[in-house]
Amino acid sequence: MKKHFLLLFTGSLLMLLFTPGCEKTNGQDSASNGPPPRDIGGLNTQRGLVLNSPSATPGYILFNTLSSPHTFLMNLEGEIVHVWESEYGVSGGIYLKQNGNIVRSGRDPVAPVYGGGGQGGYFQEFTWDGDLIWEFRYASDAHLSHHDMAVMPNGNILAIAWEGKSVEETINAGRKPDMIPKAGQWFEKIVEIKPSGKDGGEIVWEWHLWDHLIQDHDAEKDNFGNPNEHPELLDVNIGHPVPKPISQEELDKQKAANNEVTNATIDNQGSDAYHFNAIDYHPVLDQIVLSSPALNEILIIDHSTTTEEAASHTGGSQGKGGDFLYRWGNPQNYGRGDSTNQMLGGQHDVRWIPEDFPGAGHLLVFNNTVPNQRPPYSAVFEINAPIQEDGSYSLEDGPAYRPDRPYWKYIAHDTISFWSPFISGAHRLASGNTFVTEGAKGRYFEVSPAGEIVWDYLTPYAGNLKMPDGTGPQPVSNLIHATFRATHIASNDPALEGKSLEPLVPQPDFELPPD
């Protein structure tokens, strides 16, 4: 691959036509001169390095497309300097440790039962030289890890996982029967895994959404109450509804076209009602922030609890057990707003801005589809949550959790050129710039506080990763460059000290699915 390699791939296109609108953001007006096509997967786009300005923050880019098992480290010239190889596709985030090892989540090709987007099942740690030194499987009939994870300072892993509940159990929790699929409901849980040995892992802490439900549907149930009066709990009757029934023949067609995930059945359509997709840990606050695109909301819980306290409504440094300390993005979920108050739409990658970075302590989130906007577009929101000195979050009686609007946002000047309806991410850099992954397109870019793009790249890398039944991975083949999240690694990161960072010769080939 040449230094400024550009590839124009012409294959199957996913193109949606919308009438553009106007938006004023970052101090600039924008208007469109016509209805350009929406090439969500970027297959009709030149690929490779687009811009590397002097204002770009020095560093390297860590990424792994969903269609490939290979993890790449790339310099800002678009040259690959290091590769890690795995036998599994990635299901979520990849983390570079200070010793140069990477920790990644992998998609178990034979994981049972759970068939939602972001299927995982494996956690792996590789040395800089590519040796697999730890692999832990968290996949069974009872649970399956999925999407993101967080690596804690002590080396433990915080992971998101599904756990299944039967129809009877879910009805007993107060969910309306017509909202429950035949296969039952999948609820979210968080587990803290302490790695041991080459393939061991001890669950040392856990939290279950199941323990923090409220409902106003059935007065005979123990958790009956008014969700408006208990924003610390989740109304069990919100979340994704059960979709229209589908025939086995239609499901088979969707799987053959890679439009449906492995383990999907005609009976579990809609089982994944709450769908968490991101997790981050704040070591000073000892708190966890979670993203639920199904709820269009971010949620903060207390990690200072014991597992027993996390299953209750008391205990921990905040005295609330495992109840929500804070939630933001869609106050309709607890009866304190309407559609005009919804700020988030299918969001991903919520995380705290680190200490000593501009905006330290604020939350940053990739807002996939800004609500109530046509045509749809994405944004990056910085949120100044109302945290108090003791780590609690203020909430006045009546109104929803503040703020009413993001502290800072990035939206493309023409709005429509920046939209990823799924995956994606954003994180703050020490320079004050923000690094963004437009996931569906496989585009990674860096933007200044004023909204100026200072570095821009569309990966040409893809793969032909297949499942045992011969189907391809999610997403579908016309989104072959899709990336869950890319990460900017600072040039002075301890992980890179003493490492060879010369461009590989020859550069790795990239694979494209056959026509």
* Nearest of 145, 135, 237 to residue 190 by alpha carbon: 145
Q: Where are the alpha helices (DSSP H) in 279-434?
A: 307-310
Q: pLDDT band at 117, cuts 50/70/90?
A: confident
Q: Which two tokens stand for residue 266?
A: 């005609």
Fold of 6-496: Neuraminidase (2.120.10)
Residue 90 neighbours by CB under 8 Å, 6+ apart: 64, 66, 69, 71, 104, 105, 106, 107, 484
pLDDT tens-digit map of 421-442: 999 999 999 999 999 999 999 9
Q: Which amino acid is at 263?
A: N
Nearest to 329 by CA among 299, 284, 300: 299
pTM here is 0.91
118-131 tens-digit pLDDT? 999 999 999 999 99
The closest of 468, 465, 463 to 110, measured between CA atoms, is: 468
pLDDT at 39: 84
Q: What are the tens digits of pLDDT across the range 144-181?
A: 999 999 999 999 999 999 999 999 999 999 999 999 99
Q: Which one, of 438, 350, 364, lies nearest residue 148 by Cα?
A: 350
Mean pLDDT within 228-249: 94
Q: Which residues of 129-148 are buried (b: 16+ CB within 10 A; e: fewer)?
A: eeeeebbbebbeeebbbbbb
For the chain, the domains span 6-496
**Listed residue (411, 405, 399) closest to 373, CA to CA:** 411
Distance CA 515, CA 513 (A): 6
Looking at residue 16, its pLDDT comes to 27
